[in-house]
Amino acid sequence: MIDAYLGLGSNQDAERNIQSGIVELRREFGDVVVSPVYRSAAVGFSGEDFLNAAALIRTDRSVAELKDWLTELENRHGRDRSQPKFSDRSLDIDILLHGDKAGVFDGLELPRDEILKYAHVLKPLADIAPNLKHPVTGQTFADHWARFEGDRSLQVSKS
C-alpha cells in the first residue's frame, strides 16, 4: 500500500462538492485523513473564492489507475473539462504525492510543483503531513510552510 496525498478544490457549490468528494474518497479508500478546509481567492482568473483541502489515502493503485478513478469522481461532480486551466471548478482533485515518487509517471509530474507555489496547496498538506519530507527537496512540509514567501492569505472555512 502506498500513501497518496491529494489536493481538493472547488469554487462551484464548493461546500457540497468538497464534502461529497471526501465522502466518496472514504467510501473507496476507507480511512482518509483530511486537512482543515481553507478558503482562498481564485488564482489565475477572476472568480469566486475556492475551498481547498488535502487528503491522505492508502492505495495499491498505480498513478494511472488513481488518476483515472479521480477523473471519474470529478466527472460525477460535474467537472467541465472544456474550460481553460484557470477557471471555475465544481471539483478538482490532484495527486500531489504518490509515495516517494519523483519524476513523470503516466504523464503526471510528481511531486506536483503546485505544492511549493501556492499556500492553498502547501498549508493543507503541511497540516496533515508536517514531518513528511518532500521527495525532491528533502525538507519537511512544515519547514516549507514556515519558509513560504508567497501569498499566505488563507482562511479556515467555517463550514
CATH code for position 117: 3.30.70.560
The whole-angstrom separation of Cα 28 and Cα 43 is 30
Residue 86: per-residue pLDDT: 66
pTM, to two decimals? 0.94
Per the structure, the count of domains in the chain is 1
What's the sign of the alpha-carbon dihedral 77, 81, 86, 87? negative
Report residue 63 as a C-alpha cell: 498513478
For residues 107 and 15, the answer to whether their CB atoms sit within 8 Å is no
Burial 102-113 (b: 16+ CB within 10 A, else e): eeeeeebebbbe
Q: pLDDT tens digits, the chain, 159 residues: what are they?
A: 999 999 999 999 999 999 999 999 999 999 999 999 999 988 877 788 999 999 999 999 999 999 999 999 999 988 776 676 666 788 999 999 999 999 999 999 999 999 999 999 999 999 999 999 999 999 999 999 999 998 888 888 875
CA-to-CA distance for 143 and 145, rounded, in angstroms? 5
In angstroms, what is the C-alpha Rg of the chain? 15
CB 50 within 8 A of CB 120: yes
Residue 60 pLDDT:
97
pLDDT at 89: 83
In this predicted structure, what is the pLDDT of residue 84?
63
Alpha helices in 53-118, H assignment, sequence order: 63-76, 114-117
- CB of 6 closer than 8 Å to CB of 71: no
Domain enclosing residue 37, as ranges: 2-156
pLDDT (0 to 100) of residue 112: 97
